[in-house]
Amino acid sequence: MDRRTLGDGLEVSAIGFGCMGMSQSYGPNPGDRDEMIGVLRGAVERGVTFFDTAEVYGPFVNEVLVGEALRPVRDEVVVATKFGFAFDDEGRQTGLSSAPASIRRAVDGSLSRLGIESIDLLYQHRVDPATPIEDVAGTVKELVAAGKVKHFGLSEAGVGTIRRAHAVHPVAALQSEYSLWWREPEAEIVPVLAELGIGLVPFSPLGKGFLTGAVGAGTEFAAGDVRGTIPRFTPQARSANQTVVDLVRRIAGDLGATPAQVALAWLLAKQAWIAPIPGTRRLERLEENLGAADLAMTADDVRRLDDASARIEVQGERYNEQMQRMIDR
C-alpha cells in the first residue's frame, strides 16, 4: 500500500486501522480474542502499518489487545494511542484530565499495556479546559526527549488550540471526524493544517457504518451500540440522511466500486497528508476498505461528490449532549 507522511516525517500507510470497535461502542464485544488478533495481523499482511488505540477504549483492554496482536511485527507498524481522560479506582471514566502528572501516568500505563518502549504517535484525546494546552504540549515535549514518545497529536481540537500547541512542540497529526457526511473540518481546520504542515487522520470515515449502506432507517442497534445514543442515528434522521448514501451508491456504481471504497477514496484524494482509520472486526470488510487505496478517483469524481454532498443537509448532531461538551471549538 502507498505510504503517506504526517507532520514532519511520520510515515504511515494511506489507510490505517481504527481499533476501538474491537473493545467497545458497537454492540457486544467479539467473544473470540484470537479472531480479533487475526484481523489485526491480517491487516499488517495486507500492507496496513498504522494502528489507532487509546487508554479509554475499554477502558485499557484495547491497548492490551493491540499490543499483543502487533508485538511480532512491532518494527513494521506505527502505534498511536491517546491520553486525556480521568478514571476512578475501578477504572471507570470520570471526566477529562490532561494535567502533566496525568499525562505521564497515562503514558507509562499505555507503554506497559502495549508492551512497547516508545509510543509512535501520542494524541491528547480531548482538549482539557482545565489545563493550558501549552502545559500539555510541554509535557509531551519532555516525554519525546525522554524517548517515551516519538510524535505528538491532537484530537477534536480547534484551530486556536492547534496553533498554540504547535508553537510549543510540533504537532504531527490532528485526529478528527471527517467524511462525506461531516465536512465541517474543511472550513477552518484543513487550511490551518495545510499551513502548519500537520497531517489529518479522519476517524469514522465511513460515518460509523452509515455511508456503507449497511445501516438503514429500520436498523435496530444492539445494547451497548453507541449509535443508539447519537441524534444522527435516530430512525427519523437515518431516513432523512439516506440521501447521502444514495449519492455514494450512485458514484460507486459509476466507478465499479463499493460505497465504502468511494467514501474512503474521496478522503484520500482530498489531500496527500490525509490517512483515514476505518475500523472493522472482519477480514472481508478490511479487504474491501483497503481496496479504496487502489480506486482511481479523478478530480472530476471528487468534484461531483463535493458538489452533490454540499447540497445535502445532514440531519442530527454527530454526538449526544455529553460527548458534544467535550469538543474543543
Q: For 101-149, how does the pLDDT look when each residue is reduced to its tens digit (9 = 90+)?
A: 999 999 999 999 999 999 999 999 999 999 999 999 999 999 999 999 9
Q: Measure Cα distances from 58 to 20, 199, 316 in Å.
A: 8, 27, 27
- Residue bearing cell 516519538: 150
Is the predicted pLDDT of residue 30 greater than 90, yes or no? no
Is the predicted pLDDT of residue 276 greater than 80, yes or no? yes
Q: Is 178 a catalytic residue?
A: no
Choose the catalytic residue: 57, 123, 178, 319. 57
pLDDT of residue 181: 94
CATH of 3-207+262-295, one of 1.20.58.220, 3.90.1170.50, 3.20.20.100, 3.20.20.120: 3.20.20.100
Give the model confidence (pLDDT) of 289-312 as tens digits.
Answer: 999 999 989 999 999 999 999 999
pLDDT of residue 158: 97
- For helices 235-255 and 259-270, the axis angle rounded to 10 degrees is 80
- Please state the domain extents for the chain: 3-207+262-295
pTM attached to this predicted model: 0.97
Q: Measure Cα distances from 197 to 18, 166, 191, 259, 308 in Å.
A: 23, 10, 10, 30, 29
pLDDT of residue 27: 75
